[in-house]
Structure 1
Amino acid sequence: MLLAIDAGNTNIVFALVERGTVRARWRIATDPRRTADEYAVWLRQLLDLEGFKSADVTAVIIGTVVPRATHNLQVLANKYFGTAALVAGQGDAGWPMALDVEEPQSVGADRALNALAAHAKHDGVLVVVDFGTATTFDLVGADGAYRGGIIAPGINLSIDALVNAAAKLPRIAIEAPADDSVIGRTTESQMLIGIYWGYVAMIEGLVERLKRQVGAPVTVIGTGGLATLFDKRTSVFDAVEPDLTIQGLSLLYDQVSGKA
């Protein structure tokens, strides 16, 4: 089976993929100082809890936006799984589609992987909205090329900024409000309205602007952990694909290894 590793700024997701299907996934906070040995102790226990063994992992592919974490993940693959990890966008695992932007080398691996997976699953021009540390909006051409997009502060960053800058505001959990009212009666409800509905308005507004600029039919795909939360109260998404980045890693591995 393939161990697909998505190393983001906030969390690293490890997913066990068999013939394109995610069999198990685990998440750990991103810490570039974490060693391969620490990853192995944690991961081996989780594999065992899910009924898998280290020997079940026959290949590893890494997609990362945290360069300092890459080396230890590569050591993990070599030392504990006996395989050289592919790194998405590098060497033999170079991008199979065009990155049609002014600075292609600066495109995050997660965004390119999302574009790759989205194009494989959907036809036509696409917009991928990914809820991560940042919220990104990526335009994918009908030919699969990455055409650029938008980077906005992630919702948890927005909450952190608000709470850290205002001494009397409490930290709140992000969730869908109980109803559609935008008049809060408590401090917490006013904060939730501002964050949640403000984010919905941003998503809908930016997607509408993208559609107008493209001037052609567009399919909008939501991904990332919070996509399903916002999908409850907006019709902006045509599809929600929570595992799009992992699917992109699996697809890239299959193409590199000749299985696609």
Structure 2
Amino acid sequence: MLLAIDIGNTNIVFGVNNNGEWLNHWRVQTDLLKMADEYRVIFSSLLSDGKIYIADLNQIIISSVVPSLVHPFTEMLAKLLPDVGIISVGPDIYHKLPVKVLNPYQIGSDLVSNAVAAFKKFGKLTTIIDFGTALTFTTIGKDAEIRGVAIAPGLQTAVNALAGKTAQLPQIHLTPPPSVLGENTIHAIQSGVIFGFSGLVDSIIERTQNELEEKLTVVATGGLSSIIAPLTKSVKIIEPMLTLDGLYMINSEVTK
């Protein structure tokens, strides 16, 4: 069984896959101050709660966009699964993948994982929108070449900046307000962020489509995709497990 780990700036998502089926998956908050042993306790506990036996795990793959956590996780996994090798998604293995990465040192491993999954699932011109700490748009052609990326601040990042840089605007929950016309401060911020970002998504997709010769398939993923995607005109497909699916597919390519 495969343990796949996606280390992001806000959350760490990991899951256990057995022959293409996700048996369970978890999301924990990224904490740069946690030590390897602390993460080992968290992982061991969640795996146990999910009825996953550590001894059954015989493959590990990691994607990380947080360099400072690579060593703690490598140390943690060496203690948790000392006899299992680790595949780290990065430029060293991109030549083994079914997609073409033009600037391997300037693209996040999570975006490469998304591109692999989208190409394998759809096999045509696709833009993947990942609603994470950053809001990313990755476009891959039917020829498997990653055509380009657009990056904007993520929703929660924008909310945090607004609350942190103003004296009277509070933190909010990212849920759609009853109206675009906010009648109180909370609803006003929710309106600006949620409806504003849905418009941002549609605008980027429209501009992307205008630069391409074929019909574009649009796929959304990431923790906040279920909130924004239904409010857009352009997103028709939501794949919440896309990054982990990509890690599973990358592992299959590298180990075959």
> Is residue 224 from structure 1 mapped to residue 222 from structure 2 by the alignment?
yes
Root-mean-square deviation (CA), in Å? 1.5
TM-aligned CA distance change 1:229 to 1:95, over 3 Å? farther
CA distance in 1, matches of 2:96, 2:224: 27
Aligned match for 1:98, one of 97, 100, 103: 100
Q: Secondary structure at the match of 2:39?
A: helix
Q: Secondary structure at the match of 2:128?
A: strand
CA distance in 1, matches of 2:90, 2:169: 42
What code does the residue aligned with 1:241 have? E
Moved more, 31-40 or 206-215: 31-40
Partner of 2:86: 85
Aligned match for 1:248, one of 242, 246, 249: 246
CA distance in 2, matches of 1:14, 1:130: 16
The answer as to whether partners of 1:44 and 1:53 remain within 8 angstroms in 2 is no
> Is residue 133 from structure 1 mapped to residue 149 from structure 2 by the alignment?
no
Question: What is the deviation of 1:95?
Answer: 5.1
Question: What is the deviation of 1:92?
Answer: 4.9
The answer as to whether partners of 1:5 and 1:14 remain within 8 angstroms in 2 is yes
Q: Secondary structure at the match of 1:73?
A: helix
Q: Secondary structure at the match of 2:232?
A: coil
The answer as to whether partners of 2:96 and 2:253 remain within 8 angstroms in 1 is no
Moved more, 72-81 or 111-120: 72-81
TM-aligned CA distance change 1:95 to 1:164, over 3 Å? farther
Equivalences for residues 1-260 of structure 1 within 5 A:
1-81=1-81, 82-92=83-93, 94=95, 96=97, 97-100=99-102, 103-178=103-178, 181-258=179-256
The answer as to whether partners of 2:12 and 2:27 remain within 8 angstroms in 1 is yes
In the alignment, structure 2 segments of 5+ residues that lack a partner are none
The answer as to whether partners of 2:201 and 2:232 remain within 8 angstroms in 1 is no
In the alignment, structure 1 segments of 5+ residues that lack a partner are none
Q: Secondary structure at the match of 1:15?
A: strand
What code does the residue aligned with 2:107 have? V
CA distance in 2, matches of 1:153, 1:233: 18
The answer as to whether partners of 1:78 and 1:85 remain within 8 angstroms in 2 is no
TM-aligned CA distance change 1:131 to 1:31, over 3 Å? same
CA distance in 1, matches of 2:34, 2:91: 22
The TM-score, its normalising length taken from structure 1, stands at 0.92
CA-to-aligned-CA distance 1:174-213 (integer Å, 9 cap, x gap): 01223xx322211211111111110011000111000001
Question: What is the deviation of 1:172?
Answer: 0.9
CA distance in 2, matches of 1:58, 1:118: 26
The answer as to whether partners of 1:16 and 1:25 remain within 8 angstroms in 2 is yes
CA distance in 1, matches of 2:30, 2:200: 27
Question: What is the deviation of 1:98?
Answer: 1.1
Runs of 4+ in 1 over 3 A off after TM superposition: 90-95
Question: What is the deviation of 1:94?
Answer: 5.0
The answer as to whether partners of 2:96 and 2:254 remain within 8 angstroms in 1 is no
The answer as to whether partners of 1:223 and 1:241 remain within 8 angstroms in 2 is yes
